[in-house]
């Protein structure tokens, strides 16, 4: 088999079995301890079994040696061979034992049988030139003792394996819990919870490597937070410093005589002012200092009214009306940015639907770029080659930041035809705003005082 085929086979096996073979630290430690315990138990069992068997066989040979001496005295004094089953010149005598006796030695011998009880032999040369031998089986009592010993060793080995598994589960469970707590705390830090400490989250009395890991993650998070805060301050300072000259530029442009060059200057100055204001808004959202001013409103009615004011060509469909508690100014900002993005990068018609607490904005353009779908909106990056640098990527970034202040969730997806492949073009883009069921108090928001109708101006009464 060629290397290419082997590599392809490995890739298929890894793809087929890789996810299934993924286990936690608890079970890996448990399996490792159980495996080591099983190996140790088997090794000790074999050593004990062999040592006990050798000891019993040595005792049996000693007993057989004493019997052959006693039988030799009986034979030499009385000539009888009826004791202990002794025989003269037994033809079944093993060759190894016979060779030793022919050398003039008294000897014992253990004859093994496949899967059976061994035979214990003893032989001694006689003065008349014959050979006296004894042949007995390994005693049943000794065989029973060995059998009981083997059962005890098996039970002990199984107990060691299960005990090792239990110990591994306990040790691995504690380590796994600490790692999961550290991972959860790290995810909270990644989501922007700057007051979360991984070291405090894992807790515990015993100090181990997880504490070093948590300390390192906290140090990394602090360093990143300081760097991001420094970058935010620099961005905010630059944008703030640019506000004054940009405002002066707009004022000076108003004084220019009418004409095409004046319109171009005013247009570019206004675009620069919008960019500066957007950068400042992003900096405020990044600082997590923004607070929502909550009011109760009917979502469908509010969206219909605001969309009509922003773009009368956009159709609004209220599938299900719902009362929500949110910040109308920030909600309008989100809707405006989503409509602006659909108008700039999508294609008409643009459709808005309200279903309960969910607002969907859809266009029929080429869809969102893959980078935005995978990572979310990013400032100063439009993420699409067909946009030719149009836009700064701040619109969706601001919309996502305002959604966080409201405690809402803003998601993006593309509309693809049924049966389309991953490389087929999309038929549109959909931005979905999920408003929370309860007021977003966890964002530090606060409710606005609701005035009675008699204190409200007429324009608020009539929704103008």
Q: Which of 77-91, 122-136, 403-417 has the highest mean pLDDT?
A: 403-417
pLDDT band at 16 (very low <50, low <70, confident <90, very high): low
The residues pairing with 211 across neighbouring beta strands, listed in sequence order, are none
* Average pLDDT of the chain, as a whole number: 77
What is residue 89's three-state secondary structure?
Answer: coil
Residues 32-44 have pLDDT tens digits of 887 888 888 888 8
Q: Mean pLDDT across the stretch 383-400?
A: 61
**Is the confidence at residue 249, as pLDDT, over 80?**
no
**pLDDT tens across 161-188, in order?**
888 788 777 877 777 777 788 888 878 7
* Poorest-pLDDT segment among 267-276, 368-377, 378-387, 434-443: 378-387
- Give the pair of three-digit tokens for residue 355: 């279903």
Top-confidence residue, 387 or 11: 11
DSSP one-letter code for 258: S
Q: Is 301 a residue whose pLDDT tops 90?
A: yes
Residue 449 has pLDDT above 70, yes or no: no
pLDDT digits (tens, 9 = 90+) for 105-125: 888 888 877 666 788 888 888
Distance from C-alpha of 407 to C-alpha of 334, rounded to nearest angstrom = 13
Is 83 within 8 Å of 71 (Cβ atoms)? yes
- Using the predicted structure, report yes or no on whether residue 436 has a pLDDT greater than 80: yes
What pLDDT does residue 430 have?
Answer: 92
Q: In the 8-state DSSP scheme, what is residue 378?
A: B
Sequence-separated (6 or more) residues with CB below 8 Å from residue 100 = 107, 109, 123
CA distance linking residue 172 with residue 177, whole number of Å: 8
Average confidence (pLDDT) over 327-344: 90
pLDDT over threshold 90, residue 27:
no
The stretch 21-27 carries a mean pLDDT of 63
Please say if the pLDDT value at position 444 is more than 70: no
pLDDT given for residue 294 in this prediction: 87
Question: What's the pLDDT score for residue 435?
Answer: 92
Predicted confidence band of residue 319 (pLDDT cuts 50, 70, 90): very high
pLDDT in tens, 269-298: 777 777 777 777 777 777 666 788 888 999
C-alpha of 260 from chain center: 60
H-only helix segments in 79-133? 95-102
User: Which two structure tokens, joined as six digits, stand for 27?
Assistant: 């079970």
- pLDDT score of 438 more than 50: yes
Find the DSSP H helices in 191-288.
198-202, 209-254, 260-286
Alpha-carbon distance of 231 to 229, in angstroms, equals 5
Q: Which helix (H) or strand (E) holds 320?
A: strand 315-320
CA 269, CA 464: separation in Å to the nearest integer?
A: 31
pTM over 0.75: no
Residue 380 has pLDDT above 80, yes or no: no
Q: What is the pLDDT of residue 361?
A: 93
Three-class HEC string of 220-247: HHHHHHHHHHHHHHHHHHHHHHHHHHHH
| pLDDT at residue 299, as a whole number | 92
Distance CA 195, CA 7 (A): 47
């Amino acid at each position: 088999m060629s290397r290419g085929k082997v590599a392809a086979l490995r890739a298929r096996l890894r793809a087929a079995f890789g996810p299934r073979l993924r286990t936690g630290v608890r079970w890996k430690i448990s399996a490792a301890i159980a495996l080591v315990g099983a190996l140790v138990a088997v090794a000790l069992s074999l050593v004990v079994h062999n040592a006990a068997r050798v000891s019993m066989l040595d005792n049996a040979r000693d007993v057989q040696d004493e019997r052959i001496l006693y039988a030799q005295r009986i034979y030499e004094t009385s000539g009888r061979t009826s004791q202990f089953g002794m025989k003269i010149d037994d033809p079944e005598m093993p060759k190894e034992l016979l060779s030793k006796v022919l050398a003039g030695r008294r000897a014992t011998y253990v004859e093994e049988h496949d899967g059976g009880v061994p035979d214990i032999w003893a032989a001694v040369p006689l003065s008349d030139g014959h050979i006296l031998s004894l042949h007995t089986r390994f005693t049943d009592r000794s065989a029973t003792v060995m059998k009981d010993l083997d059962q005890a060793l098996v039970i002990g080995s199984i107990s060691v394996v299960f005990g090792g598994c239990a110990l591994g589960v306990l040790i691995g469970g504690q380590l796994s819990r600490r790692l999961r707590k550290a991972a959860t705390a790290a995810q909270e830090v990644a989501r922007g919870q700057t007051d979360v400490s991984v070291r405090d989250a894992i807790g515990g009395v015993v100090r181990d490597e997880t504490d070093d890991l948590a300390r390192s993650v906290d140090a990394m998070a602090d360093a990143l937070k300081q760097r991001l805060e420094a970058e935010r301050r620099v961005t905010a300072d630059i944008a703030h410093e640019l506000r004054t000259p940009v405002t002066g530029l707009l004022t000076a442009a108003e004084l220019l005589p009418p004409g095409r060059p004046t319109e171009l200057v005013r247009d570019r100055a206004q675009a620069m002012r919008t960019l500066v204001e957007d950068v400042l808004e992003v900096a405020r959202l990044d600082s997590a200092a923004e607070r929502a001013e909550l009011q109760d409103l009917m979502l469908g009615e509010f969206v219909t009214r605001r969309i009509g004011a922003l773009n009368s060509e956009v159709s609004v469909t209220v599938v299900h009306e719902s009362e929500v508690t949110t910040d109308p100014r920030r909600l309008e900002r989100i809707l405006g940015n989503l409509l602006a993005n659909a108008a700039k990068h999508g294609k008409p018609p643009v459709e808005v639907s309200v279903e309960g607490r969910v607002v969907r904005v859809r266009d029929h353009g080429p869809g969102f770029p893959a980078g935005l779908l995978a990572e979310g909106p990013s400032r100063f990056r439009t993420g699409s080659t067909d946009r030719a640098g149009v836009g700064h990527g701040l619109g969706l970034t601001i919309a996502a930041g305002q959604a966080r202040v409201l405690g809402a969730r803003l998601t993006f997806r593309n509309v693809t035809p049924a049966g389309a492949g991953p490389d087929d073009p999309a038929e549109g883009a959909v931005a979905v705003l999920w408003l929370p069921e309860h007021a977003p108090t966890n964002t530090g928001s606060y409710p606005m005082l609701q005035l009675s109708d008699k204190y409200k101006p007429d324009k608020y009464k009539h929704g103008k």
